[in-house]
Structure 1
Amino acid sequence: MFQQTPVYDRLVAERGDVPVQVRGEADRIHRDLAQVLRQTSTSQPSAPQSVFDSKVPPTAL
């Protein structure tokens, strides 16, 4: 993504690779949310498969 520079390398050495840590946390949260949504849809058969599924066709927006 970014071309590493000596400044970036020094920051990573001092503070850790923050973008990698954030990406890892985002992946973990995504997995946790997917698990919760699966459990919710199992316990409530009438619930939509995903909260991100549009209830209105895109052409109507």
Structure 2
Amino acid sequence: MFSETPIYSRLIAERGDIPARARDEADRMHRLQEQIFSSPSNPGRPRHAGQPGSLFGTAPRPPRTSPSPPAE
């Protein structure tokens, strides 16, 4: 991506390829989570885990409404 710029090349030489290491770690964590959550021995897996609009298996909540102002 930025490999053509001298400053990027110098940073890579000094600090290592941090974006590549972060991507690799994210991929590793994703694979680990897939193994854990797809395991048949995991009875505690939320039923709706991973579905859009769900948070740890809970259904989306309706938006909160403000209480009505007191009648005068």
Q: Which of the five TM-score ranges fits, normalised by the shorter chain? A: 0.5 to 0.7
Determine if the alignment matches structure 1 residue 36 to structure 2 residue 36: yes
In the TM superposition, what is the alpha-carbon distance from 1:38 to its structure 2 partner?
1.0
Determine if the alignment matches structure 1 residue 8 to structure 2 residue 11: no
In the TM superposition, what is the alpha-carbon distance from 1:56 to its structure 2 partner?
4.7
- The alignment's TM-score, normalised by the length of structure 1, stands at 0.68
Equivalenced residues, count: 57
Secondary structure at the counterpart of residue 4 of structure 1: coil
Bigger relative CO (Cα 8 Å, ≥ 6 apart): 1
Deviating 4+ runs (over 6 angstroms): none
Give ranges in structure 1 of 5+ residues lacking alignment: none
Distance 1:21 1:2, change over 3 A: same
Q: Which residue of 2 aligns with 1:21?
A: 21
Aligned-pair Cα RMSD in Å: 2.7
- The alignment's TM-score, normalised by the length of structure 2, stands at 0.59
Q: Give the number of the structure whose alpha-carbon radius of gyration is greater.
A: 2
